[in-house]
Amino acid sequence: MERGKRVILACPPTNINDLLAGMGVPEYVPTVDHSLTQCVDCGTDMWIGSNQQAVAGRAPGATLLLCMTCAVVETNRRGMPAAVGHLGGGRGRPRLPG
């Protein structure tokens, strides 16, 4: 499937809390169900949730795993406004720091 038609799965980079520091948003805490993966465009480390992993695994040729920054760039390149959908999840045990 051509890139412009693939579904974007936007994942938070591992430094998301540093990027959003001072903006008044709650701290992002991945759960034990999250795994590390890399953005296919910039290679940054990012957290992928179990539901995103399942979608990507079922349709690898129809999805595009991007960090949130690259997802915004890709959406803009496609000439469309960003539309964010949540796949659910996030109800698992938080990861311990460190």
From first to last of its 98 residues, the chain has per-residue pLDDT tens of 899 999 999 999 999 999 889 999 888 888 888 999 999 999 999 999 988 999 999 998 999 999 998 999 999 999 987 666 555 656 656 566 65
Query: Of all residues in the chain, what percent are helix, strand and coil, respectively (each to 5)?
Result: 30, 20, 50
The pTM of the whole model exceeds 0.85: no
What residue spans of the chain are helical by DSSP H? 16-19, 50-58, 68-77
Spell out where the chain has E strands: 7-11, 35-38, 45-48, 63-67
